[in-house]
Amino acid sequence: MKFVHIADVHFDMPMLSFKGNRELIKKRRIEQKQAFRDVIQFVKKEKVEFLFISGDLFEQKYVEKSTIEYIISNFGLISDTNIFIAPGNHDPLIKNSPYSTFDWPSNVTIFNSEYGMISFDDVDIYGIGFNDYEFSSNEIANIKIENEDKINILVTHGTLNGADGKYHDIKEKDLNKFDYVALGHIHEKNVDDSRIIYPGSLISCGFDEEGKHGFVKGEITKEKCDLEFVPLDYKEFEKIKLDISNYSNIHEVMESLKIEDNKFYKIEICGTRNFNIDELIECITEENKNICEIKDCTTLPYDFENIKQMKNLKGLFTKKILDEMENMSELEKQETMKTVDLIYQMMK
């Protein structure tokens, strides 16, 4: 049998990495929907028999009606495919969940917190889903395989060998009875020969999710399981640490900064600054639309310890400022240093 396994799509998530940039959020949500459509088209083209969705398909607290309608309409394009959904901690099967309030196509099975099993000629599909934002269960340990001669598959969402009790801690020793375990919750892919598989999030959701993202396709018999990770997300999140100590002007920095259109960036500017840092940040932001955040961690090119020993106005001013900064937050210190720089320029 042929199958596709996805997880952690997180439709309509807040996307905090974009720091409220509506243009980038809108763009990323379009890419997210396109990636999902690409999965559906793959399933249709390859005549895939089973689609496993291992939780967090959408964000219960934020999902819009139009998004659920989009998901359902896509499922309608693959009516010959059996779709199995195990709700996770972000899309739990609660009273007002879209899983409960919308009409889902007849080829869609949504598992609840008590394990269920759907039987086919040569395969039995078991599943367990979240019924709240936190979920603790030992249902997997209680599952008794009804026919060991069949291919037995488990679809669920949770933490493999977890111990915090909040997000369905799954013990590896309880999974040996299954021929394939379709997991979700961990956004980093883990596709190996163990048959206990996390496909990772369908697309990257932020700077804490590096690497390739996509889905798993598989073909399984009782004796053999062939798996392949299929990358879908052609946008990556990258952190850049930009040391400007050796640059004398903004033009030199801009020439050295290599920004690619197919990436989102978080830039930390560090080192000693020899020019106006605000102008540099403005210049970088204006020329590059995929910058999500720029953090100023630079220092001023002054020896404050020596300056505060000076017996003049500059020395007294510096000593007072340094004393006051001891009780400031990092943000307040950065703003104060900008003011100090301006005052020093006036004292020249």
CATH number at residue 76: 3.60.21.10
- CB 109, CB 127: distance < 8 Å: yes
Which pair of tokens denotes residue 207?
């700077």
Residues 200, 241 within the same domain? no
Q: Does 294 share its domain with 321?
A: no
Q: Are residues 77 and 155 in the same domain?
A: yes
If asked whether residues 308 and 295 sit together in one domain, one would say no
pLDDT given at position 3: 98
Is 50 found in the same domain as 154? yes
The first and second tokens of residue 170, run together, are 């799954």
Q: Are 314 and 184 contained in the same domain? A: no
Same domain for 175 and 242? no
Same domain, 261 and 179: no
The values of phi and psi at residue 281, to 5°, are -60, -45
Per-residue pLDDT of the chain (348 residues; tens, 9 = 90+): 999 999 999 999 999 998 888 888 998 999 999 999 999 999 999 999 999 999 999 999 999 999 999 999 999 999 999 999 999 999 999 999 999 999 999 999 999 999 999 999 999 999 999 999 999 999 999 999 999 999 999 999 999 998 888 999 999 999 999 999 999 999 999 999 889 999 999 999 899 888 889 999 999 999 999 999 999 987 889 999 999 999 989 999 999 998 888 889 999 999 988 888 889 999 998 888 889 999 988 888 888 888 888 888 888 888 888 898 888 888 788 788 878 877 877 776
pLDDT at 81: 98
Residue finishing a domain among 231, 253, 279:
231
Give pTM, 2 decimals: 0.85
Q: Do 6 and 27 fall within a single domain?
A: yes
Q: Which of 231, 259, 282 is the last residue of a domain?
A: 231
Q: What is the pLDDT of residue 236?
A: 86
Question: In whole angstroms, what is the distance from residue 174 CA to residue 156 CA?
Answer: 13
Question: Which pLDDT does position 345 carry in this prediction?
Answer: 72
User: Where among 184, 209, 231 does a domain terminate?
Assistant: 231
71 & 205 share domain: yes
- Which tokens in the block code for residue 161? 């060998």
3-state helix, strand, coil in the chain (%, to 5): 30, 25, 45
Distance CA 169, CA 4 (A): 24
Residues in Cβ contact with 202 at an 8 Å cutoff, skipping those fewer than 6 apart: 6, 7, 8, 9, 32, 35, 36, 39, 213, 214, 215, 232, 233
192 with 317, same domain: the answer is no
In terms of domains, do 46 and 166 share one?
yes
Domain count, the chain: 3
Domain that holds residue 11: 2-231
Angle at 179 between CA 210 and CA 124, to 5 degrees: 115
